[in-house]
């Protein structure tokens, strides 16, 4: 396809050139009279596309069979319009599309603090997709992964961005009218910086800053200056979520007991002074205020919680509050939570999620349904900013590129007053990302297994805990008894193989690592149960066969998985953080080797018993299928791998 743009294209041409290459479209100049080739338009130098600013507002795109138009109100809308033009013109039928934007800002939040720090080049690849979708903002969540002058340990060996790298990301995003801005932490969630001896003067507890100290305020000044300097945007997210430790460490020793709300508001006032001096527009997570207002002092979602007037009066109104909610709720429940935030008085934004947290896949069953409900409520309630968080908790085994189907849903909601039809979302995702929706949805079945709740609404993550659990200890074996997970993963492996072969390069890259994970789990997921059964009936032949044949087979499959995962990691992320996954994979392989040796020692008479297999198998947690809470959830690798001590923290060092 060849396009010739005419009219008001100032400031659009760099972005057009990038996306034309992405779409396989050839761009012709207005004066170009070359023969168009063999596309049926001999002698016509491409389809003429009239570009203009919309008089009526919104986005209008159309093609009458010979000439086309894109009328847009805001820069980012043009690039969505370009995608719509190419997508629908390829169908060969004239069309007209008119869309009204429902939110002022819609876009993802990338977690760049849990080991997976996107390279600048992979960030650009992501921005290309976001531009075609029509998203217009991107939040960079950086706890300590940006440089600060005078703090050499801030982000040390963690893949921190330089000022030049952040500026390059911002410049690239701006070509598409996408507003990039930083999300940092100015109170808690700073464990990875505060662990260093050099940061001890800033430390209250292992994750919270020591507030009320001039040194801490000076650090925050430099944080804010460094984080915002590379960006055009005046927006900044100052964090302040999940600060339950606040004032309970060194602060308590120095100042005695002070209520957390008083500490919080006092600190917020100081941070906002710094922000206001620089003419910035701050936002923060809302959870601590809701928690402090709850009866327990810790419940964010308590339906009985109300914000007292005396509390609301002390919360500054010039900081936007971000209500985050990642679970599956009915629309009425989202509405109730929005109502609880209204007394805070500030501008209210919403942050949902595409659930890639603590899993190798994506919990699309939960997050697509939750997003549908939440975004409809946001439209009804007049919320003007919505974000899709993609957290990388506990090592970031997953891929933000696997979440693109969820981001497409956000984009289609952003341009539709009604709930967008799934067929439209799926078609747009295939066009904008090059990957079919059904291929993305395969990723949910890594965790949406037999025994899970419908749509995995209980957030089970067996793809992770069954990989990392020890075959002799079998911590999760009781959770999965009788569920035939081996058969589930064998079937999923076949479905993924078919999708990889029938899809394009992007599909093959997306599904390579999940396919290898299924190859491991089809033979590892239930091996511990079989070992325990064979040991209990003294079937030494079975134990010997497992030791000599099956465990080496699993180890070989784990090595193939690691190789595929390594390719995926280095295609997206900086190298820092991969060593954590290397260590985890090495731990799995080494424990398989030790397990095989233990079994052989027993079957060949060198030891009288295997104590690990004599232990009764217990349920790992109350999250299990026997009480309709799925088949289990665990947030931390070290708790999956062993019940024994990995580390014991009295002091951060």
Domains parsed from the chain with CATH numbers: 2-33+42-99 (3.30.160.230), 105-433 (3.20.20.80), 454-641 (1.20.120.670)
**Using a CB cutoff of 8 Å and minimum separation of 24, what contacts does 493-502 make?**
493/518, 493/519, 493/522, 495/442, 495/445, 496/442, 499/436, 499/438, 499/439, 499/442
Q: The whole model's pTM is what? A: 0.96
Is pLDDT above 70 for 40?
Answer: no
Write out pLDDT tens, residues 538-570.
Answer: 999 999 999 999 999 999 999 999 999 999 999
pLDDT(37) > 50:
no
Distance of CA 325 to the CA centre of its chain: 14
Neighbours of 87 (CB within 10 A): 19
Is the pLDDT reported for residue 399 higher than 70?
yes
Report CA 451 to chain centroid distance, whole Å.
25
Task: Round to whole Å and give the CA distance between 615 and 528.
Answer: 12
Asked if residues 408 and 133 have their Cβ atoms less than 8 Å apart, the reply is: yes
Residue 653: per-residue pLDDT = 45
Q: What is the dihedral of CA 399, 404, 405, 411, to 10 degrees?
A: 150
Q: Are strands 68-72 and 95-99 parallel, antiparallel or unpaired?
A: unpaired
b/e 31-51 (16+ beta carbons within 10 angstroms → b): eeeeebeeeeeeebbbbbbeb
In three-state form (DSSP H/G/I as H, E/B as E, the rest C), the secondary structure along 410-432 is: HHHHHCCCCCCCHHHHHHHHHHH
> Could you tell me which residues come within 8 angstroms of residue 191 by beta carbon, excluding any fewer than 6 positions away?
206, 207, 652
Of the candidates 245, 203, 250, 146, the one whose C-alpha atom is nearest the C-alpha of residue 653 is: 203
**498: closest CA among 476, 517, 515, 522?**
515
pLDDT at residue 648 is higher than 70: no
Given a contact cutoff of 8 angstroms between Cβ atoms, the answer to whether 48 and 4 are in contact is yes
* Number of residues in the chain: 653
Q: How confident is the model at residue 308 (pLDDT cuts 50, 70, 90)?
A: confident
Mean pLDDT in the chain?
94
Distance CA 275, CA 503 (A): 48
The pLDDT tens digits for 602-611 are 999 999 999 9
Dihedral sign (CA 103, 423, 26, 504): positive
DSSP letter for each residue of 167-218: HHHHHHHHTTT-EEEEE--SSS--HHHHTSGGGGGGBSSSSSB-TT-HHHHH
How many CA atoms lie less than 13 Å away from 77 in the CB half-sphere?
25
Q: How many Å apart are CA 104 and CA 350, to the nearest integer?
A: 12
- The number of helices, as runs of H, and strands, as runs of E, in the chain is 25, 14
Q: How confident is the model at residue 91 (pLDDT cuts 50, 70, 90)?
A: very high
Cα–Cα distance, 142 to 118 (Å, whole number): 11
Helix (H) or strand (E) holding 511: helix 505-524
**Over the stretch 335-351, which tens digit does the pLDDT of each residue have?**
999 999 999 888 999 99
Mean predicted confidence (pLDDT) in 11-40: 77
- Dihedral class, residue 445 (left if φ above 0, else alpha if ψ from -120 to 50, else beta): alpha
Interval 127-181: pLDDT, tens:
999 999 999 999 999 999 999 999 999 999 999 999 999 999 999 999 999 999 9
Q: Which helix (H) or strand (E) holds 63?
A: strand 59-63
- DSSP secondary-structure letter at 278? T
Q: Is 390 helix (H, G, I), strand (E, B) or coil?
A: strand
Tally of CA atoms within 13 A in the half-sphere of 419 that contains its CB:
13
Dist CA 633 CA 462 (whole Å): 7
pLDDT over 60 at 33, yes or no:
no
Give per-residue pLDDT as tens, 266-294. Answer: 999 999 999 999 999 999 999 988 988 88
Q: pLDDT of 432-464, one tens digit each?
A: 999 999 999 999 999 999 999 999 999 999 999
Provide the 10 A C-beta neighbour count for residue 201.
Answer: 11
CB 602 within 8 A of CB 543: yes
Q: In the structure, what pLDDT confidence band is assigned to residue 646 with cuts at 50, 70 and 90?
A: confident
pLDDT by residue (tens digit) across 204-218?
999 999 999 999 999
For 325-384, list the strands marked E by DSSP: 348-353
Angle between helices 163-174 and 120-133 (to 10 degrees): 20
Distance in angstroms (rounded) separating the CA atoms of residues 580 and 598: 27
Residues 129, 404 contacting (CB under 8 angstroms): yes
Q: Which two three-digit tokens encode residue 164?
A: 């030049």
């Amino acid at each position: 396809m060849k396009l010739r743009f005419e009219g008001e294209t100032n400031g659009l041409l760099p972005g057009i050139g990038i996306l034309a290459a992405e779409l396989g479209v050839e761009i012709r100049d207005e004066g170009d009279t070359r023969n168009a080739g063999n596309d049926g338009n001999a002698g016509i130098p491409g389809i003429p596309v009239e570009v203009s600013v919309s008089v009526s507002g919104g986005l209008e795109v159309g093609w009458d069979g010979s000439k086309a138009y894109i009328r847009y109100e805001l820069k980012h809308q043009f690039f969505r319009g370009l995608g719509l033009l190419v997508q629908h013109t390829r169908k060969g039928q004239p069309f007209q599309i008119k869309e009204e934007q429902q939110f002022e800002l819609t876009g993802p939040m990338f977690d760049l603090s849990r080991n997976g720090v996107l390279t600048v080049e992979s960030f650009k690849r992501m921005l290309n997709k976001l531009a075609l979708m029509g998203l217009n903002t991107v939040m960079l969540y950086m706890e300590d992964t940006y440089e600060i002058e005078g703090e050499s340990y801030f982000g040390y060996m963690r893949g921190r961005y330089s000022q030049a790298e952040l500026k390059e990301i911002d410049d690239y995003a701006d070509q598409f009218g996408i507003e990039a801005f930083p999300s940092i932490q100015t109170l808690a969630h700073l464990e990875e910086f505060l662990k260093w001896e050099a940061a001890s003067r800033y430390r209250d507890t292992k994750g919270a800053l020591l507030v009320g100290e001039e040194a801490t305020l000076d650090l925050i000044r430099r944080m804010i200056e460094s984080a915002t300097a590379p960006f055009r945007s005046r927006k900044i997210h100052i964090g302040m979520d999940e600060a339950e430790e606040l004032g309970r460490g060194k602060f308590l020793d120095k100042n005695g007991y002070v209520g957390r709300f008083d500490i919080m508001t006092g600190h917020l006032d100081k941070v906002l002074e710094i922000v206001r001096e620089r003419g910035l527009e701050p936002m923060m997570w809302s959870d601590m205020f809701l928690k402090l207002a709850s009866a327990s002092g810790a419940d964010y979602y308590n339906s009985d919680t109300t914000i007292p007037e005396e509390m609301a009066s002390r919360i500054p109104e010039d900081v936007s509050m971000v209500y985050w909610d990642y679970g599956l709720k009915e629309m009425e429940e989202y509405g109730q939570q929005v109502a609880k935030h209204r007394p805070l008085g500030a501008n209210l934004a919403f942050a949902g999620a595409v659930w890639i947290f603590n899993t190798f896949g994506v919990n699309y069953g939960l997050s697509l349904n939750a997003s549908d409900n939440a975004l409809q409520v946001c439209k009804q309630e007049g919320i003007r900013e919505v974000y899709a968080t993609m957290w990388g908790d506990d090592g970031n085994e997953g891929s933000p590129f696997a979440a693109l189907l969820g981001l497409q849903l956000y984009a289609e909601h952003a341009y539709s007053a009604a709930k967008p039809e799934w067929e439209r979302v799926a078609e747009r995702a295939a066009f904008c990302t090059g990957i079919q929706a059904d291929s993305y949805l395969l990723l949910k079945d890594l965790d949406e297994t037999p025994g899970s709740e419908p749509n995995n609404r209980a957030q089970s993550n067996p793809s992770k805990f069954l990989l990392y659990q020890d075959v002799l200890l079998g911590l999760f074996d009781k959770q999965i008894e009788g569920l035939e997970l081996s058969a589930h993963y064998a079937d999923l492996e076949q479905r993924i193989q078919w999708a990889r072969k029938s899809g394009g390069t992007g599909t093959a890259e997306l599904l390579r690592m999940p396919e290898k994970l299924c190859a491991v789990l089809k033979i590892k997921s239930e091996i511990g149960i079989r070992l325990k059964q064979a040991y209990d009936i003294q079937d030494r032949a079975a134990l010997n066969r497992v030791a000599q044949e099956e465990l080496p087979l699993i180890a070989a499959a784990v090595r193939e998985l690691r190789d595929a995962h390594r390719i995926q990691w280095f295609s997206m992320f900086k190298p820092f953080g991969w060593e954590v996954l290397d260590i985890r994979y090495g731990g799995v392989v080494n424990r398989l080797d030790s397990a095989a040796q233990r079994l052989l020692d027993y079957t060949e008479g060198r030891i009288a018993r295997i104590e690990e297999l004599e232990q009764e198998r217990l349920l790992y947690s109350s999250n299990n299928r026997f009480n309709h809470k799925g088949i289990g959830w665990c947030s931390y690798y070290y708790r999956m791998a062993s019940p024994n001590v990995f580390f014991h923290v009295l002091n951060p060092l």
